[in-house]
Amino acid sequence: MNIEELEHYKTRAMLEGKKADLIKRIVSKVFEVSKEDIEGKSRKREVCEARFVAMKILKDNSQFSLKKVGKMFGSRDYSTVIYAIDMVEDLNLTDLTFKDLYAESKELYEKYQNCIELEEPVINPS
Protein backbone atom coordinates (compact mmCIF):
# COMPACT_ATOMS: atom_id res chain seq x y z
CA MET A 1 0.00 0.00 0.00
CA ASN A 2 1.47 3.33 -1.01
CA ILE A 3 1.28 6.68 0.79
CA GLU A 4 -1.56 7.93 -1.41
CA GLU A 5 -3.73 4.93 -0.50
CA LEU A 6 -2.91 5.40 3.19
CA GLU A 7 -3.94 9.06 3.00
CA HIS A 8 -7.20 8.04 1.31
CA TYR A 9 -8.02 5.59 4.13
CA LYS A 10 -7.00 8.11 6.78
CA THR A 11 -9.26 10.78 5.23
CA ARG A 12 -12.14 8.33 4.90
CA ALA A 13 -11.79 7.27 8.55
CA MET A 14 -11.82 10.90 9.67
CA LEU A 15 -14.97 11.61 7.64
CA GLU A 16 -16.66 8.49 9.03
CA GLY A 17 -15.95 9.67 12.56
CA LYS A 18 -17.22 13.15 11.74
CA LYS A 19 -20.42 11.76 10.24
CA ALA A 20 -21.14 9.74 13.38
CA ASP A 21 -20.29 12.74 15.56
CA LEU A 22 -22.57 15.06 13.58
CA ILE A 23 -25.48 12.62 13.86
CA LYS A 24 -24.95 12.20 17.60
CA ARG A 25 -24.85 15.98 18.11
CA ILE A 26 -28.00 16.56 16.05
CA VAL A 27 -29.95 13.82 17.80
CA SER A 28 -28.75 14.96 21.23
CA LYS A 29 -30.05 18.48 20.54
CA VAL A 30 -33.40 17.29 19.16
CA PHE A 31 -34.01 14.77 21.98
CA GLU A 32 -32.50 17.09 24.63
CA VAL A 33 -30.00 14.56 25.97
CA SER A 34 -26.23 14.83 26.01
CA LYS A 35 -23.98 13.33 23.36
CA GLU A 36 -22.22 11.53 26.19
CA ASP A 37 -25.53 9.93 27.21
CA ILE A 38 -26.07 8.69 23.66
CA GLU A 39 -22.62 7.10 23.72
CA GLY A 40 -23.00 5.88 27.30
CA LYS A 41 -24.68 3.01 29.10
CA SER A 42 -27.87 4.75 30.28
CA ARG A 43 -31.07 2.76 29.89
CA LYS A 44 -33.42 5.70 30.46
CA ARG A 45 -36.15 5.70 27.85
CA GLU A 46 -35.37 9.15 26.43
CA VAL A 47 -31.67 8.32 26.13
CA CYS A 48 -32.30 4.92 24.53
CA GLU A 49 -34.71 6.41 22.02
CA ALA A 50 -32.17 9.08 21.08
CA ARG A 51 -29.43 6.44 20.76
CA PHE A 52 -31.67 4.26 18.60
CA VAL A 53 -32.46 7.17 16.28
CA ALA A 54 -28.78 8.06 15.95
CA MET A 55 -27.90 4.44 15.14
CA LYS A 56 -30.65 4.20 12.51
CA ILE A 57 -29.72 7.50 10.84
CA LEU A 58 -26.05 6.48 10.74
CA LYS A 59 -26.85 3.03 9.33
CA ASP A 60 -29.27 4.46 6.74
CA ASN A 61 -26.79 7.11 5.57
CA SER A 62 -23.59 5.11 5.46
CA GLN A 63 -22.16 1.85 4.27
CA PHE A 64 -21.07 0.92 7.79
CA SER A 65 -21.63 -2.61 8.93
CA LEU A 66 -23.89 -3.21 11.92
CA LYS A 67 -20.77 -4.09 13.90
CA LYS A 68 -19.11 -0.77 12.97
CA VAL A 69 -22.22 1.23 13.91
CA GLY A 70 -22.36 -0.56 17.27
CA LYS A 71 -18.70 0.20 17.88
CA MET A 72 -19.37 3.92 17.32
CA PHE A 73 -21.97 3.86 20.11
CA GLY A 74 -19.99 2.62 23.06
CA SER A 75 -18.87 -0.75 21.69
CA ARG A 76 -22.38 -2.13 21.37
CA ASP A 77 -23.05 -5.44 19.66
CA TYR A 78 -24.44 -5.65 16.13
CA SER A 79 -27.64 -7.21 17.52
CA THR A 80 -28.22 -4.03 19.55
CA VAL A 81 -28.11 -2.02 16.32
CA ILE A 82 -30.66 -4.38 14.72
CA TYR A 83 -32.89 -3.94 17.78
CA ALA A 84 -32.48 -0.15 17.61
CA ILE A 85 -33.52 -0.04 13.94
CA ASP A 86 -36.55 -2.22 14.64
CA MET A 87 -37.55 -0.07 17.64
CA VAL A 88 -37.35 3.15 15.61
CA GLU A 89 -39.58 1.63 12.94
CA ASP A 90 -42.08 0.40 15.57
CA LEU A 91 -42.12 3.69 17.51
CA ASN A 92 -42.70 5.61 14.29
CA LEU A 93 -45.99 3.73 13.94
CA THR A 94 -47.19 4.08 17.53
CA ASP A 95 -45.75 7.28 19.04
CA LEU A 96 -46.47 10.56 17.26
CA THR A 97 -44.08 12.59 19.43
CA PHE A 98 -41.27 10.16 18.69
CA LYS A 99 -42.15 10.21 15.00
CA ASP A 100 -41.82 14.03 14.97
CA LEU A 101 -38.46 13.94 16.79
CA TYR A 102 -37.15 11.29 14.41
CA ALA A 103 -38.30 13.26 11.37
CA GLU A 104 -36.68 16.43 12.73
CA SER A 105 -33.40 14.58 13.37
CA LYS A 106 -33.35 13.17 9.84
CA GLU A 107 -34.20 16.56 8.35
CA LEU A 108 -31.41 18.29 10.27
CA TYR A 109 -28.91 15.61 9.26
CA GLU A 110 -29.86 16.07 5.61
CA LYS A 111 -29.47 19.82 6.02
CA TYR A 112 -26.03 19.66 7.69
CA GLN A 113 -24.46 16.53 6.16
CA ASN A 114 -22.51 18.62 3.65
CA CYS A 115 -20.88 20.54 6.51
CA ILE A 116 -18.96 17.51 7.79
CA GLU A 117 -15.66 18.93 6.55
CA LEU A 118 -16.15 21.89 8.90
CA GLU A 119 -14.70 21.52 12.36
CA GLU A 120 -17.88 22.48 14.24
CA PRO A 121 -20.99 22.87 12.05
CA VAL A 122 -23.65 25.13 13.49
CA ILE A 123 -26.72 23.18 14.48
CA ASN A 124 -29.90 25.12 15.19
CA PRO A 125 -32.83 22.74 15.60
CA SER A 126 -35.66 25.20 15.55
- The verdict on residue 38 lying in a domain is yes
Nearest Cα neighbor of 92 from 68, 43, 57, 41 is 57
Decide if 30 is inside a domain.
Answer: yes
Residue 67 lies in a domain: yes
% pLDDT > 70, the chain: 79
Residue 2 has pLDDT above 50, yes or no: yes
Q: Is residue 92, in this structure, part of any structural domain at all?
A: yes
Domain presence at residue 95: yes
Residue 126: inside a domain, yes or no? no
- Residue 122 inside a domain? The answer is no
* pLDDT above 90: residue 34: yes
pLDDT of residue 18: 87
How much is the pLDDT for 63?
87
Task: Please give the residue that has the higher pLDDT: either 119 or 110.
Answer: 110
Range of the domain at 28: 3-113
Query: How many structural domains compose the chain?
Result: 1
pLDDT band at 114 (very low <50, low <70, confident <90, very high): confident
pLDDT of residue 115: 76
More confident position, 43 or 120: 43
Instruction: Tell me if 47 is assigned to some domain.
Output: yes
Average pLDDT over residues 63-75: 93
Residue 81 binned pLDDT confidence (cut-offs 50, 70, 90): very high
CATH number (domain holding residue 20)? 1.10.1750.10
Helix, coil or strand: residue 17: helix
DSSP string of 53-122? Answer: HHHHHHHHTS---HHHHHHTTTS--HHHHHHHHHHHHHHHHH-HHHHHHHHHHHHHHHHHGGGTTSSS--
